Chains A and B, each alone.
Chain A
Amino acid sequence: MLKESLVAAALAAVMVAPGTAAAQQEKSPPRAVVLSGPEAGQRAPDFRLPWASGDSIGSVEDDFVLRDLRGRTVVLAFYPADFTSGCTAEMKAFTDRYAELFGEGEDVVVVGISADSLETHQRFAQSLGLPFRLLSDPDQRVARLYGSKGDPRPRRTVYVIAPDGQVAYRDMRFGALDPRSYESLKSAVRSARAG
C-alpha cells in the first residue's frame, strides 16, 4: 500500500508540474520533474519477480522477493538487454570478478534485472556461466520503481541494498565499460556488508 501511495504521489507531482512550472516561469526557468527512484538512505521498494539462472527457471512459488532478503546485502543491476554487447561486458565482469566485487560469502545476493524473458535469461546466464540470477521484468514495473525504466529497454543502473533494507548506494549511470564504476560498486558493497 505504501509503495503504491509513493508512486501515486510521484506521478501526481509529474502531472501537476507543467502548471506549476508555468506559474513560476517568470521567476525561474522551468525544471523537469523526473521519477528518479529511491536515493541512498531511503527504503528500497519491495518487489517480486520471476527469475532464471543458467541451470533453472524458478517456480512461481520461488519468485525473487526483495523483503525476504532482509539481513543480507542485495545488489540490483538493471540493464538494457540480454545478449547485447554492453550488457555482456557488464555481466561477464560481474562473473569474472565476482569474489573481488561482491565477496565470497552468501551474505551478498546479486541479481540482474531486464525486460527479457526467462528463457532468454537462462540462455544468457548459461552462455556466460553467471553465478547469480537474472530477474524478468517484462513491463519494467520494477525498473520504474527504481528510476531505471527506459524506452524501449531499461537503463543501466546499479543499486546496493543494505541488510536493513535501505538503499546504501546507487549508480544511475553505471558505465559497463568504465573500470571506475566497478571500483565504486566494490567499495559500496564492502561498506554495506560492514554495516
Chain B
Amino acid sequence: MRRAAAFLGGLVLAFGMLQPLAGQEEGITPGTPAPAVVVKDLDGRSVDLGAVIGSRPVLIEFWATWCTSCQAMMPALTRMQEKFGDAVEFYGVNITISETREGVREYVAEHQPPFLTLYDEEGVAARAYEPPATSFIVIADSGGTVVYTGSGGQQDLEPVLRKVTGRQAPAE
C-alpha cells in the first residue's frame, strides 16, 4: 500500500524540471526598496550596490553553476544585456553554499555570463533579498524600487526592462 501511494505521488515528477516554490518563500517583495548592500566580487573586492541602486535600473540574478534554470536563462539574459546593458546594471550574485571560488571563476571564464559576478560568501545579499531559489531575478527601477521578482528558466524580462528604461517596443 505504501509503495503504491508513493508511486502515485511520484507521478508528479513526470512533469520534470525543478520548480520554484510559490507560497511561503517568495523573496523580496515588489514595491519595496532594493537593499543597497555591499557584496564581494570574485577577487574579494567590495562592490557597493548602493552606488547604482536608486540612480539606475538594476537587474540582479541569484545563481549557481549547477543551476539548470540559471543555465536556461543565460541566452535570454545575454540578449537583454545586449539590448539594455547601456542603461541597466546587470549583476549575478553567486550562491556560494555549494561552490568554490575557483570553480565559479572557471565557470565564468568559460561561459562569460552577461553580468558582473559577485561571490556572496558572507550571504549579505542572500539575507537582504531572501532569494527562495537559484535563478531568482530581481529588477529595480531607477528609483531603487523592486518592480520584478521571479524564478525559473523561462522568465520574460523584456517588458520589465522596457518599462524601467522607458524604451518602447519596436512597431510591428
A→B interface (CB under 8 Å):
50, 52, 57, 60, 80-81, 83-89, 92-93, 96-97, 116-123, 136, 150-153, 155-156, 175-182
Contact = CB atoms under 8 A, between A and B. Distances in A.
A86 B98 contact: no
Contact of B25 (A52, A80, A83, A88): A80
B97 A177 contact: yes
Contacts of A155: 24
Given A57-B3, A117-B9, A119-B7, A97 B98 contact: yes
Contacts of B122: 179-180
Contacts of B12: 120
B25 A86 contact: yes
Given A60-B2, A119-B9, A120-B9, A86 B21 contact: yes
Contacts of B87: none
B74 to A, nearest CB: 16
A57 B2 contact: yes
B8 interface: yes
A81 B25 CA distance: 12
B131 interface: yes
A155 B2 CA distance: 25
Given A85-B20, A97-B97, 20 more contacts: A57-B3, A85-B134, A86-B133, A89-B95, A117-B10, A118-B5, A119-B8, A119-B9, A122-B10, A136-B6, A151-B23, A175-B127, A176-B97, A176-B132, A177-B97, A177-B131, A178-B127, A179-B97, A179-B122, A179-B123
Nearest to A175: B126
Given A119-B7, A120-B6, A180-B123, A85 B69 contact: yes
Closest 10 CB pairs of A and B: A117-B9, A119-B6, A119-B10, A85-B133, A118-B6, A84-B21, A178-B123, A93-B97, A179-B123, A178-B126
B120 interface: yes
Contact of A96 (B9, B10, B98, B127): B98
A53 to B, nearest CB: 13
Interface stretch (B45-53, B60-68, B77-85, B109-117): B60-68
Contacts of A86: 20-21, 25, 132-133
B158 interface: no
24 contacts: A57-B6, A84-B20, A85-B18, A85-B19, A85-B21, A85-B67, A89-B95, A92-B98, A97-B97, A117-B5, A117-B9, A118-B5, A119-B7, A119-B8, A120-B6, A122-B6, A150-B23, A153-B24, A155-B24, A156-B24, A177-B134, A178-B126, A179-B122, A180-B122
Interface in B90-139: 95-98, 120-123, 126-127, 130-135
